[in-house]
Amino acid sequence: MELVVAVVVGLVVVAIVFGVVLSRRRPAPGTTRPAGGRGPGAATGDRRTAATPTVPPRAPAPGLAGRIRSAFGSGAQDPWSELEGLLVGADVGPSTSARIVGDVRLRYGQGDDPSALVGEEIRSILGTSSSLELPTEGLGVVLVVGVNGSGKTTTIGKLAARLSNQGKRVSIANSDTFRAAASEQLGVWAERARAHLVRQARGADPGAVAFDAVQAAQARGSDVLIVDTAGRLHTKQPLMDELKKVRRVIEKAVGRPPDETLLVLDATTGHRGGGGDGRGADEARRHGEGGSRPGGARSARGAGQSRRHR
């Protein structure tokens, strides 16, 4: 009898303890259980889900046109000085900036859009773009030069595609025998543009590639030959001499200098693009040239520019 009473008492105690535990784990009315099932008594250091504060989107900074208009807004003290500072900060160059400010100042009137006037002055300085001047009969040769990574190969691919779409038969010479995979990259562009590619093994003489390309283009009846060259800095005289050699080889093979020399520039180069980089085109067109002259035409090409030299 005593054993039965002890068992009953033990079961009652267990039931009471179990009920107390359940009541402590049950969330209070109107509250939600934290993620992961952890209650208020979770140990310090446990990860707790917190609401991420929302950050308002940042308004984009105004472009050059917007900053020019702001300089001429109400309360502006000296808009012309601020305009010149904006142009210099955009790497237009001190002398060109002063010229643009002077011309805009003469034309500006109450109610005019200063940014539109600046744009007109810049376009007048750059001049209108013109097409390549290639012979109507026989083989025309375009020599492409520039510094490393300026986009020469991509420009050649786009130019070849445009000429092919105009109905011309195009050949390409891979005289960039220094850069790794240059031949493969140019091969992809030639295939896309339906152009004939002349190439040799890596490390071959660039002048020899140009000579073979002229012979092959003439034999195939091509209308245009585009000659790619390796990127080079104007401070490396041996590389500049190599560029002059390529031009001499072309002149000997065709009987005249290249019809066009394109200097490919990165559009972010700024006003210095026509300085040191321009020496590459100058060296390419200067040697053995009689009566040819530098042209100032520029044509936009997406991410960069190409300056024409004749």
Tens of pLDDT, residues 10-51: 777 777 776 766 666 665 555 555 555 454 444 444 555 556
Q: pLDDT value at position 227?
A: 93
Residue 179's CB: how many other CB atoms inside 10 A?
Answer: 16
Determine the Cα–Cα distance for residues 184 and 47; give it in Å rounded to an integer: 53
- The answer to whether residues 218 and 210 touch, using CB atoms and an 8 Å cutoff, is no
DSSP string, 130-149: ------SSS-EEEEEEESTT
Q: Read off the pLDDT of each residue in 147-152 and give the average, rounded to a whole number.
A: 83
Phi-psi map region of 9: left, alpha, beta (phi>0 left; psi -120 to 50 alpha): alpha
pLDDT attached to residue 49: 54
Listed in order, strand segments (DSSP E) in the chain are 140-146, 170-175, 196-198, 224-229, 260-266, 298-301, 304-309
Phi, psi of 140 (to 5 degrees): -95, 140
* pLDDT for the residue numbered 52: 67
pLDDT at 92: 86
pLDDT band at 192 (very low <50, low <70, confident <90, very high): very high
- Give the CA count within 13 Å in the CB-facing half-sphere of 232: 26
pLDDT at site 277: 46
Element (H, E) at 210: helix 206-220
What does the pLDDT read at residue 289? 28
State pLDDT tens for residues 77-120: 889 999 999 999 888 888 999 999 999 999 998 888 999 999 99
